[in-house]
């Protein structure tokens, strides 16, 4: 065994031996080795073939990414000073290495030689796809441009990066610049006590001692949202709404106005797209995505809008009636919508999260989850043991089941009991753990030359959540939302673990288009809304009774509450984003707000006031990497709902034939094949929006 446990690649990570002191020497050595390898592959007389170039490059980089993956993982789940220091100490060097790799034109040249060679048509589908993806990514970063155009392209990228950062800074500064000081306690009516308390503390922090009592509200979410949702004072809601809706716009200080930045970003994105040979930025954005064309996405969004709009109109009519009759609001203003909705939700569909939680004990939930996975995909999940980073962590193995689904038919029984993959489960929140829930890979599945036994390196995943731990002798219990999160992350985990990929670059979730990555995760969420599954998966911690049907019906109604409104709102953002980056000329006569008004006439049912400046705070698309990609949220939801509908059509959420097809055509294929081909192979047709509508309670009369 290697003295530095981070440099041991023979098996599972040695969490019982790895220390933060190992990081600097191990990662430095691996970086040096990787650099030397790149140097050797690009300067010597190395033939640009799969075996002499692409395979050794993948092997060499994998060692670095595996070791760095362990360091990053430990930084996320055990963020104590020495791990934070170890991680941050090496982060710049690791980032620099990957950035250089993406700009190395000699690597690009070698991939192009393979692409043009007689070897290429002989390569497996997976290897051809890796070569194609590499070339695509180099091209999109400008590697193919004629020398005289490269400096301009580079300058555009730099200016865009600067503009994106400035956009975010302006928005944050404008958000911080506003405060609403309330000095009349009566204006706090309706607000939860903790919100009032926080507002009081914020005011005290600013004020001189002895200043009369006041409360400070800001545009940050923990202050803004409760006001819009709970404050009885219409004046307070209206003031906060207006401030929020006009951030970083022409009404405030000109140095914080994002309007000129937006125009410049749109201009530069268009120019960069045209340098690359495309008409507009939307076309560039779609190149590495699952969606095939702007026209296809527009048709998809408009189809969904036409079908969802009647339900949004129904939602808003219901809300208007309720607001008039129960709240005395004759006209429903935009700053009343959140407030009235909260009151309506409480009046019609209220239930206690705490009551629900008593039915979802940890062991019952895990047994239910594993049963779903085992039944659908013909595998067995068993407890396993391995060194772990914390005593809370559990470890499991997935094996082939006799007659299971995960092997091609002819082979399956011969492989019963064979190891498929393993995963760590770290369920509880800790002070030293990053927030949220996520799946990460420890080891990816691939064929390894000269590897012992069958030559396949088995995949290993980390599933991390932040649920509450058991208190006293009572088992841990989860909210339904937490259960849904666990199913979601398990879906990502299965994408990684049940892959049959043998090439690193397209195995598991590697190489999967980002608008398709959420398909397996959202697909799995459907099972925690299935009544049959819930009956098996729930038992009251005191009485042992399963979840009552009446409670489930309320949960379902609350889940689908105002789904029409929510859908058209997301469609408004998606359509606006896509049209802005395809059918809009920054130098033309039509303004951005004109375009937004057109989109709203088409899809929206709530039209904000004329002074509302949505674009000025739309950081997803101007500062967050979602430019001409905001539609991905809806796209992935539609795909996962449509996949689950295949099981409903078969009359059984566990239909074995459909389960095998989902495994064969989507889950196990990973990035080997374009995601739209995977979908078509599974569904036998193009994606349709109907299942999403039905699952959200939008069923045409």
Residue 651 token pair: 């009359």
Range 47-86, binding Zn ion (CB under 5 A): none
CA angle 25, 30, 35 (to 5 degrees): 125
CA distance 393 to 424: 7
Residue 516 Cβ, how far from Zn ion at the closest point, in Å? 12
Binding span for Zn ion by CB under 5 A among 157-165, 383-391, 521-529, 654-662: 521-529
Helical ranges in 514-616 per DSSP H? 519-525, 531-537, 549-559, 563-580, 592-603
Ranges within 432-461 binding Zn ion (CB under 5 A)? none
Which of these ranges, 62-70, 314-322, 332-340, 513-521, lies near Zn ion under the rule CB under 5 A? 513-521
Instruction: Kindly state the number of chain residues that form the binding site for Zn ion, as judged by CB under 5 A.
Output: 1
The CA distance from 695 to 69, in Å, is 37
CA distance between the termini of the chain: 68
Classify burial at 99, counting beta carbons within 10 Å of its beta carbon; exposed 0-12, middle 13-18, buried 19 or more: exposed
521 makes contact with Zn ion (CB under 5 A): yes
Catalytic-residue membership of 144: no
**Closest residue by beta carbon to Zn ion:** 521
Q: Is the Cβ of residue 199 or residue 483 nearer to Zn ion in the bound state?
A: 483
Closest contact distance (angstroms) between CB of 111 and Zn ion is 30
Distance CA 149, CA 276 (A): 10
Report residue 308 as tokens: 């969802």
Q: Which tokens in the block code for residue 108? A: 């690009």
521 or 526, CB closer to Zn ion? 521
- Minimal distance in Å, beta carbon 529 to Zn ion? 17
Q: Which is nearer to Zn ion, 341 or 570 (CB)?
A: 570
Could you tell me which residues come within 8 angstroms of residue 244 by beta carbon, excluding any fewer than 6 positions away?
219, 224
Q: Give the nearer residue to Zn ion in terms of CB position, either 61 or 442.
A: 442
User: Could you tell me the two tokens for 96?
Assistant: 């620099």
Helix (H) or strand (E) holding 623: helix 619-623
For the bound state, the minimum distance from the C-beta of residue 489 to Zn ion, rounded and expressed in Å, comes to: 7
Segment interacting with Zn ion (CB under 5 A) among 359-367, 518-526, 673-681, 690-698: 518-526
Structure token pair of residue 441: 């890979």
Residue closer to Zn ion, measured from CB, 6 or 692: 692
Could you write out the three-class secondary structure of 249-269?
A: CCCCCHHHCCHHHHHHHHHHH
Interaxial angle between packed helices 334-349 and 294-327, expressed in degrees from 0 to 180 and rounded to the nearest 10: 70
Q: Characterize 374-397 residue by residue with b for buried, 16 or more Cβ atoms within 10 angstroms of its Cβ, and e for exposed.
A: bbbbbbbbeebebebbeeebbbbb
Comparison of 457 and 521: residue with beta carbon closer to Zn ion: 521
- For Zn ion, the closer of residues 521 and 617 by Cβ is 521
* Site of tokens 């369920």: 427
Query: Does the footprint of Zn ion cover residue 640 (CB under 5 A)?
Result: no
**Pairing mode of beta strands 456-457, 419-428:** unpaired
Beta bridge partners of 462: 424, 440
Q: Which is nearer to Zn ion, 30 or 77 (CB)?
A: 77
Residues 237-296 that bind Zn ion (CB under 5 A): none
Choose among 679, 630, 647: nearest CA to 512: 679
- Return the number of the residue (200 or 559) whose C-beta is nearest Zn ion: 559
Query: How near is the Cβ of 471 to Zn ion at its closest, in Å?
Result: 29
Q: Which stretch binds Zn ion (CB under 5 A): 76-84, 103-111, 389-397, 517-525?
A: 517-525
CB of 498 to Zn ion, least distance (A): 16
CB of 524 to Zn ion, least distance (A): 10
Return the axis-axis angle of helices 294-327 and 592-603, rounded to nearest 10°. Answer: 70
CB of 691 vs Zn ion, minimal distance in Å: 19
Beta-strand relationship, 438-443 and 446-447:
unpaired
Between 471 and 510, how does the x/- string for binding to Zn ion read (CB under 5 A)?
----------------------------------------
- The encoded tokens of residue 385 equal 């043991």
Residues 301, 575 contacting (CB under 8 angstroms): yes
The closest alpha carbon to 153, from 275, 286, 282, belongs to 275
Is position 175 an interface residue for Zn ion (rule: CB under 5 A)? no
Residue 477 or 521 with smaller CB distance to Zn ion = 521
Question: Minimum distance from CB of 518 to Zn ion (Å)?
Answer: 5
Handedness of CA 247, 162, 627, 153 (dihedral sign): positive
What's the CA gap between 344 and 456, in Å, rounded?
Answer: 56
* CA–CA dist 678, 666 (Å, integer): 5
499 versus 616: smaller Cβ distance to Zn ion: 499
* Stretch binding Zn ion (CB under 5 A), from 207-215, 373-381, 425-433, 514-522: 514-522
Select 521 or 570, whichever has its Cβ closest to Zn ion. 521
To Zn ion, the closest distance from the beta carbon of 80 in angstroms equals 27
Catalytic annotation, pick one of 489, 513, 525, 665: 489
DSSP 51: I
Whole-number minimum distance, CB 523 to Zn ion, in Å? Answer: 11
Following DSSP, what letter does each residue of 459-482 receive, concatenated?
PEEEEEEEEPPP-TTSPPB--HHH
Give the shortest CB-671-to-Zn ion separation in angstroms.
16
Q: Report long-range pairs for 157-164 (Cβ below 8 Å, ≥24 apart).
A: 157/272, 159/264, 159/268, 160/265, 160/268, 160/269, 160/272, 163/261, 163/264, 163/265, 163/268, 163/622, 164/265, 164/622, 164/623, 164/624
**Residues labelled catalytic:** 489
Q: Please give the residue ranges that form the binding site for Zn ion (CB under 5 A).
A: 521
């Amino acid at each position: 065994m290697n003295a530095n446990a981070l440099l041991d690649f023979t098996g599972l990570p040695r969490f019982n031996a790895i220390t933060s002191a190992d990081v600097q020497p191990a990662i430095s050595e691996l970086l040096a080795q990787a650099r030397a390898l790149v140097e050797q592959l690009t300067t010597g007389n190395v033939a640009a073939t799969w075996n002499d170039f692409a395979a050794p490059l993948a092997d060499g980089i994998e060692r670095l990414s595996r070791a760095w993956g362990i360091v990053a993982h430990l930084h996320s789940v055990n963020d104590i000073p020495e791990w934070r220091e170890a991680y941050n100490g090496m982060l710049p060097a690791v980032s620099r290495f990957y950035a250089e790799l993406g700009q190395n034109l000699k690597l690009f040249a070698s991939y192009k030689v393979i692409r043009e060679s007689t070897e290429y048509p002989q390569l497996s589908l997976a290897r051809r796809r890796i070569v194609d993806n590499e070339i695509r990514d180099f091209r999109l970063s400008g590697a193919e441009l004629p020398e005289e155009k490269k400096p301009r392209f580079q300058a555009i990228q730099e200016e865009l990066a600067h503009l994106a950062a400035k956009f975010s800074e302006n928005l944050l500064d404008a958000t911080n610049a506003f405060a609403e000081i309330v000095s009349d306690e009566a204006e706090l009516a309706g607000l939860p006590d903790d919100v009032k308390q926080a507002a009081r503390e914020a005011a005290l922090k600013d004020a001189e001692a002895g200043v009369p009592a006041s409360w400070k509200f800001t545009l940050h979410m923990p202050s803004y949202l409760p006001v819009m949702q709970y404050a009885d004072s219409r004046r307070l809601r209206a003031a906060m709404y207006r401030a929020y809706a006009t951030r970083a716009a022409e009404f405030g200080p000109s140095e914080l106005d994002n309007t000129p930045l937006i125009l410049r970003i749109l201009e530069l994105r268009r120019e960069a797209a045209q340098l690359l040979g495309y008409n507009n930025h939307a076309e560039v954005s779609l190149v590495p995505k699952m969606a095939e064309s702007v026209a296809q996405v527009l048709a998809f969004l408009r189809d969904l809008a036409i079908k969802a709009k009647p339900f949004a109109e129904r939602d808003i009519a219901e809300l208007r009636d309720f607001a008039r009759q129960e709240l005395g609001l004759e006209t429903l203003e935009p700053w009343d919508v959140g407030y009235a909705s909260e009151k309506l939700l409480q009046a019609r569909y209220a239930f206690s999260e705490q009551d629900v939680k008593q039915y979802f004990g940890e062991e019952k939930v895990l047994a239910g989850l594993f049963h779903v996975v085992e039944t659908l995909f013909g595998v067995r999940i068993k407890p396993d043991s391995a060194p772990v980073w914390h005593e809370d962590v559990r470890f499991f193995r997935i094996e082939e089941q006799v007659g299971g689904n995960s092997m091609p038919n002819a082979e399956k029984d011969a492989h019963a009991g064979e190891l498929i993959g393993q995963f760590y489960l770290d369920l509880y929140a800790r002070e030293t753990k990053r927030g949220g829930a996520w799946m990460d890979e420890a080891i990816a599945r691939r064929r390894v030359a000269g590897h012992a036994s069958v030559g396949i390196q088995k995949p290993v995943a980390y599933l991390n959540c932040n649920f509450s731990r058991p208190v006293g002798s009572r088992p841990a219990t989860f909210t339904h939302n937490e259960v849904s999160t666990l199913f979601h992350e398990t879906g990502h985990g299965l994408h990684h673990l049940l892959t049959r990929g043998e090439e690193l670059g397209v195995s598991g979730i590697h190489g999967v288009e980002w608008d398709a990555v959420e398909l397996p995760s959202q697909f799995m969420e459907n099972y925690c809304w299935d009544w049959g599954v819930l009956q098996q998966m729930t038992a009251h911690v005191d009485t042992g009774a399963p979840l009552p049907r009446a409670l489930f019906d309320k949960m379902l109604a609350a889940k689908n509450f105002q789904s029409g409104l929510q859908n058209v709102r997301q469609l408004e953002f998606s359509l606006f984003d896509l049209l802005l980056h395809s059918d809009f000329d920054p130098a033309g006569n039509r303004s951005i707000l004109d375009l937004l008004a057109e989109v709203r006439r088409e899809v929206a049912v709530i039209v904000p006031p004329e002074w509302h400046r949505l674009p000025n705070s739309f950081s997803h698309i101007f500062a967050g990497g979602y430019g001409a990609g905001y539609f991905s949220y809806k796209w992935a939801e539609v795909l996962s709902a449509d996949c689950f509908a295949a099981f409903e059509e078969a009359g059984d959420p566990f239909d074995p034939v459909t389960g095998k097809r989902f495994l064969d055509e989507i889950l196990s294929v990973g990035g080997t094949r374009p995601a739209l081909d995977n979908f078509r192979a599974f569904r036998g047709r193009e994606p349709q929006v109907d299942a999403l509508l039905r699952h959200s309670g939008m069923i045409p009369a």
